[in-house]
Amino acid sequence: MRYQRACNWLQALEGDFDSSHLSFLHLAYDEKLQDTGHERKAGIEYYRNIARMDKQPLLEVVDTDIGVMYGARRAAEESGFYWRVTEFLLPFYTSVPAYCGKNRAKAWVPLDDEHTMVWEPNWSATHDLTEEEQKGWKGRVPPSGFLPDTKDGLGYGRFVANAGNDYFLDRKKQRSFNFSGLENVTTIQDGAMTESMGRSATGRRSILALLTRRSSSSAGACFRSPESFANKTNSLPASNTPSFTGGTAIKCC
């Protein structure tokens, strides 16, 4: 699957790399989509429900030989935690958790300074993917779909929901259905946030919240020069055996 972001590639990638926004941006109010606030029972929305109830994850950051990874720890069940591990790999790859035995990565390929093509390969180590799973559209392509491709260099992989139509923002839906008021698909919700910052946001107006209690490195280490990785001139403590401590981890379905 591929789709376009109308903003700088690093800006788009950074939004995907964040795990904290799950607690609000992708929040749904409809009980058919999500368990009620006091319940923590397994189900298709179980892990999102954990993120909804624990809005301040503890981040553990670890440098790797090819980028950086971190685990976002949230309280799950009694004496247990839900760890959501996210990875960045040079030069422009991310991998965020998927569900039900599937894996997903993303390649954030710059088309120019203000447009990015996102490629999403899907795979599984536990089963052969169905044709639908290989296509990768389920749960990723909104009901409004894609615009027809054109011969323009930037005329492909464009969602119908975009800045020109306010991503079909629905204030009534925002009051009663979900936090964003947008189609209940993460690709549109994420895109609306990163694109509405401007085509190439500098981050100078960002207000950062402290979420990390312990880390072996700064997440900014993923943007060190290739030379520093090759020559180990910017080396940090060994990360071959990252230690995510405390409590009992729970496993995705």
Complete DSSP assignment for 19-47: SGGGGTTT-B--TTTS--TT----STTHH
188 in Cβ contact with 4 (< 8 Å): no
* 135 lies in some domain: yes
**Among 90, 94, 92, CA closest to 103:** 94
Asked whether the beta carbons of 139 and 185 are under 8 A apart, the reply is: yes
Distance CA 106, CA 85 (A): 15
Provide the pLDDT for residue 28: 81
Give domain status of residue 28, yes or no. Answer: yes
Count of positions (residues) in the chain: 253
What is the structure's pLDDT at 21?
85
- How confident is the prediction along the chain (253 residues), in pLDDT tens digits per residue? 899 999 999 999 988 888 888 888 888 876 665 544 445 454 446 777 777 778 888 889 999 999 999 999 988 877 788 888 899 999 999 998 776 677 889 999 999 999 999 999 888 888 888 888 888 888 889 999 999 999 988 999 999 999 999 999 999 999 988 899 999 999 999 999 999 988 887 766 666 655 544 443 434 544 555 555 556 554 433 334 344 334 333 333 3
Asked, for residue 182, whether it belongs to a domain, the answer is: yes
pLDDT of residue 231: 60
DSSP three-state, residue 112: strand
210 backbone φψ class: left, alpha, beta (φ>0; ψ -120 to 50):
beta
Quick one: tokens of 87? Answer: 């990875």
Domain assignment present for 209: yes
Phi, psi dihedral angles at 122 (to 5 degrees) = -125, 145
Please list, in sequence order, all residues whose beta carbon lies within 8 angstroms of the beta carbon of residue 160, skipping any fewer than 6 positions away.
142, 144, 145, 146, 147
As for how many domains the chain has, the answer is 1
Residue 24 lies in a domain: yes
* Domain span at 71: 2-247
**What is the reported pTM?**
0.77
The pLDDT of residue 249: 37
- Whether residue 41 is contained in a domain is answered as yes
Q: Is residue 144 part of a domain?
A: yes
Residue 252 in any domain: the answer is no
Look at residue 48 in the predicted model and tell me its pLDDT: 72
